[in-house]
Amino acid sequence: MALNAMIHWGFMLRVDTPHTITQEGWKWLLSEARFPFNFDGEIFGLGFLLEDQLREFGFRGSEAGQEADFVDVDRVIHAASEAVNWLELVAVKPLVGGLKPFEAWKLKNSGVYDVATFDDQVVTKGTQVDWPPLIGKIY
């Protein structure tokens, strides 16, 4: 699956889970996907709480501890990356004028290279922005 953008807000849900997710669950989630602004192929950023519905679909919640499939990042903003072992908040640094620094959520150890800004602009690591591990401007 293509890895394309990082997400800024909401209720974060990882897609790659070892559990069986119902077909109804996948259909519903994909109907909510708005690439690249709330879905990047690896994680969903949903703007509303639906823990019970996600559990019915087969996703694990906070009862699974570090291995939970979803976490409310609005509620535990900087602690979310400690609540689950697959999510991290990164500081995005501009490499070109006209952009301000911001933070975005991403799946740890992913190949994500694009991020949507708060102005709905998609920018690329190494071209317009950078985040840890820093690579600098490559062209």
Q: How many CB atoms lie within 10 A of CB 115?
A: 27
Helix or strand or coil: residue 57? helix
CA distance 106 to 57: 23
Count Cβ atoms below 10 Å from residue 102 Cβ, excluding itself.
Answer: 16
Tens of pLDDT along the chain (139 residues) come to 233 344 555 688 899 998 899 999 999 999 988 877 788 888 888 876 688 899 999 999 888 988 899 988 766 555 666 788 888 888 999 999 999 999 888 889 888 888 888 877 889 999 999 999 999 998 7
Classify strands 114-116 and 122-124 as parallel, antiparallel or unpaired. Answer: antiparallel
Rounded Cα–Cα distance for residues 129 and 44 (Å): 22
pTM of the predicted model as reported, rounded to 2 decimal places: 0.77
